[in-house]
């Protein structure tokens, strides 16, 4: 059995008198795709923020590859990649520049730092080829010219390049057409096939049922289901999410 790349144990998070997360226990193995599902306000985003280090838990622990993660610096050091819903791409920069945004390859000549553009383009091409996306071969193209699906795939490629253990995705198929959704789902399964653990938050239940190895359903800050999606219908998942409400 593959090792756990993520272990969340007894995590709680409060906002004033509101309990956003209560005694959350979750594991993700290398190469596994786990979908976090739940109605609005169920605690999905809060849990993602705790896992990626942008929010601090009030109790419990988060381990990535066996090491504690408590902040964004830990997440970066431990190889956690995040694809936010807004993607955090710069439309005026090209694909290669976006892939290296915040991780630019530079060479020092005394006090002078010079971008290694050729290296960045070469490694960007390799990163995109790992996902098998033929429509993004020109890494000198400005991101502003890409479709929504292409931008999403680029964001996944960037997360894959810098992640060593885990990728977190927030609504990766939101506002995309069916063809673009298929391309993005393929990129996510490819990331998992390279040994990365994948955690995604999504309201796109049909897509989740296609690619997730496990679904974890949150309701009012607690996990109410943690199971394989095999044999489940969309209606059954919705019932799990809303309960008797």
Band (pLDDT 50/70/90 cuts) for residue 151 is confident
Predicted TM-score (pTM) of the model is 0.87
Domain count, the chain: 1
Question: What is the Cα–Cα distance from 27 to 7, expressed in whole angstroms?
Answer: 5
In this prediction, what percent of the chain has a pLDDT beyond 90? 55
- What residues have CB less than 8 Å from 172, skipping those under 6 apart? 83, 152, 156, 184, 188, 200, 202
Rounded to 10 deg, the angle between the 178-193 and 148-162 helix axes is 10
Band (pLDDT 50/70/90 cuts) for residue 8 is very high
- What residues have CB less than 8 Å from 233, skipping those under 6 apart? none
Range of the domain at 154: 4-242
Q: What is the pLDDT of residue 12?
A: 96
Q: What is the pLDDT of residue 9?
A: 97
CATH number for position 81:
3.40.50.300
What are the tens digits of pLDDT across the range 78-134?
A: 999 988 877 788 889 999 999 888 787 777 777 877 777 888 888 888 888 887 777
Q: What is the pLDDT of residue 172?
A: 86
Would residue 53 be called left, alpha or beta, if left means φ above 0 and alpha means ψ between -120 and 50 degrees? left
């Amino acid at each position: 059995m593959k090792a756990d790349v993520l272990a969340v144990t007894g995590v709680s998070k409060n906002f004033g008198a509101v309990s956003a997360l209560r005694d959350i226990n979750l594991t993700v193995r290398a190469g596994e795709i786990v979908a976090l599902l739940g109605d609005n306000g169920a605690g999905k985003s809060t849990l993602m923020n705790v896992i990626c280090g942008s929010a601090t838990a009030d109790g419990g622990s988060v381990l990535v590859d066996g090491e504690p993660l408590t902040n964004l610096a830990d997440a970066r050091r431990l190889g956690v990649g995040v694809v936010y819903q807004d993607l955090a791409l710069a439309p005026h920069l090209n694909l290669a520049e976006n892939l290296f945004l915040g991780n630019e390859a530079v060479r020092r000549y005394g006090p002078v730092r010079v971008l290694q553009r050729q290296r960045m383009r070469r490694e960007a091409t390799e990163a995109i080829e790992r996902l098998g996306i033929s429509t993004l071969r020109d890494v000198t193209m400005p991101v502003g010219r890409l479709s929504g699906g292409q931008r999403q795939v680029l964001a996944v490629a960037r997360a894959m390049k810098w992640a060593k253990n885990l990728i977190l995705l927030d609504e990766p198929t939101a506002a995309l057409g069916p063809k673009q959704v298929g391309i993005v789902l393929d990129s996510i399964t490819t990331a998992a096939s390279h040994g990365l653990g994948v955690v995604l938050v999504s309201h796109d239940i049909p897509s989740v049922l296609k690619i997730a190895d496990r679904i974890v359903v949150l309701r009012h800050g607690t996990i109410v289901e943690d199971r394989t999606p095999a044999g489940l219908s969309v209606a059954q998942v919705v019932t799990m999410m809303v309960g008797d409400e």
